Amino acid sequence: MLDNFSNSTPAVIDRLAQIIGRPVRWHEGDIRDAAALDKIFAELSVSAVLHFAGLKAVTESIDRPIDYFDVNVHGSIALMKAMQRAGCKTLVFSSSATVYGPEQPMPVGEGAPCSVSNPYGRTKLVVEDLLYELGRADPEWRIATLRYFNPTGAHPSGLIGESPIGTPSNLMPLVCQVAAGLRPCVQIFGDDYPSPDGTGVRDFVHVMDLAEGHVAALDYLTRNQANILVNLGTGQGTSVLEVIRTFERVNGQRVPFEVVARRAADIGISYADASLAWELLGWAAKRGIDDMCRDAWRWQCANRA
């Protein structure tokens, strides 16, 4: 494992080891550091790379486009070059449903047109394009580009989960912080979308399902010399208000909220056509919103400090 700990901490390593029941080999370093990458590839026999490293906050990316392109695009290129030097040509890449443009018919499939309205989304699209071309130029590469919808929840042990610095940009950490009394209320951006309760709809997918999706993708690449691009979502939309109500029901906690104006760039309704993941990878999400709310709250309670 390689991480520069810009958005995590080495304390996570012991927790990972507890979960998997054996030590985790890890290096502190940056994916943009070619020498550090070469050293790792020389020391370990790496057959495949799961590439999660990146910056991921849409709003922040608007203020810091250079940093986002540097880490997400330059970092991915540095990683691919190092893989090429080491002769390791199997890669699973974390992309995002944010690459789908607004006003798509839902559920949205992989063939839908892409259009991005912020630097973060653009970095994902640039890397996707590069991976497509790389697979065409050198068919020895085995690549799975996974477009995550809305990763939510935590490991059921309560040992690892999301711990955002500053105001959370994702819904569930915000709901948890409000339930824990750390923030006064959840702001719901708009209640006039064409959904049953008017609030925005997203395809929330449990992080454990996502993890299993990566294992399925890796397994597929082991068996197939291919370059695939696949949605990872449940195929079900859930509204922001439904998430809050479900959280209150399963955890017995009150979550005050207020409705405020829509945000300019927000898409009202977004959920995946998840059929290709099932066809190619035999993967479908197994966990629901109840599980996501329960596991996120367990993580929040265990990590209040």
Ligand X SMILES: NC(=O)c1ccc[n+]([C@@H]2O[C@H](COP(=O)([O-])OP(=O)(O)OC[C@H]3O[C@@H](n4cnc5c(N)ncnc54)[C@H](O)[C@@H]3O)[C@@H](O)[C@H]2O)c1
Give the catalytic positions in this structure: 120
Q: 114 by DSSP, 3-state: which?
A: strand
- Alpha-carbon distance of 26 to 3, in angstroms, equals 8
- Alpha-carbon distance of 68 to 164, in angstroms, equals 17
Q: How many residues bind ligand X (CB under 6 A)?
A: 22
Restricted to residues 164-183, the positions that interact with ligand X (CB under 6 A) are 170
- Alpha-carbon distance of 158 to 153, in angstroms, equals 10
Q: Binding to ligand X by residue 8, rule CB under 6 A?
A: yes
Q: What type of residue sits at position 278?
A: W
Restricted to residues 49-78, the positions that interact with ligand X (CB under 6 A) are 52-54, 56, 71, 75
Cα–Cα nearest to 285, from 195, 172, 203, 173: 203
Q: Given the structure tokens 């944010």, which residue do they identify?
A: 98
In the complex, the smallest distance separating the C-beta of residue 191 from ligand X, rounded to whole angstroms, is 23
Q: Binding to ligand X by residue 9, rule CB under 6 A?
A: no
Is the CB of 16 or the CB of 280 nearer to ligand X? 16
Q: Binding to ligand X by residue 32, rule CB under 6 A?
A: yes
Q: Binding to ligand X by residue 81, rule CB under 6 A?
A: no
Stretch that binds ligand X, among 145-153, 196-204, 253-261, 266-274 (CB under 6 A): 145-153
- Residue 203 · residue 271 · CB < 8 Å: yes
Is the CB of 162 or the CB of 291 nearer to ligand X? 162
In the complex, the smallest distance separating the C-beta of residue 75 from ligand X, rounded to whole angstroms, is 5
Q: Binding to ligand X by residue 121, rule CB under 6 A?
A: no
Stretch that binds ligand X, among 109-117, 137-145, 146-154, 215-223 (CB under 6 A): 146-154
Q: Binding to ligand X by residue 151, rule CB under 6 A?
A: yes
Question: Residue 213: which H helix or E strand, with range?
Answer: helix 207-223
Task: Rounding to the nearest 10 degrees, give the CA dihedral for residues 235, 101, 70, 8.
Answer: -30
Cα–Cα nearest to 62, from 98, 109, 90: 98
Strands 204-206 and 150-152: parallel
The only residue of 16, 27, 30, 84 in contact with ligand X, by rule CB under 6 A: 30
User: Which residues in this chain contact ligand X in the complex, by CB under 6 A?
Assistant: 2-8, 30-32, 52-54, 56, 71, 75, 94, 96, 148, 150-151, 170
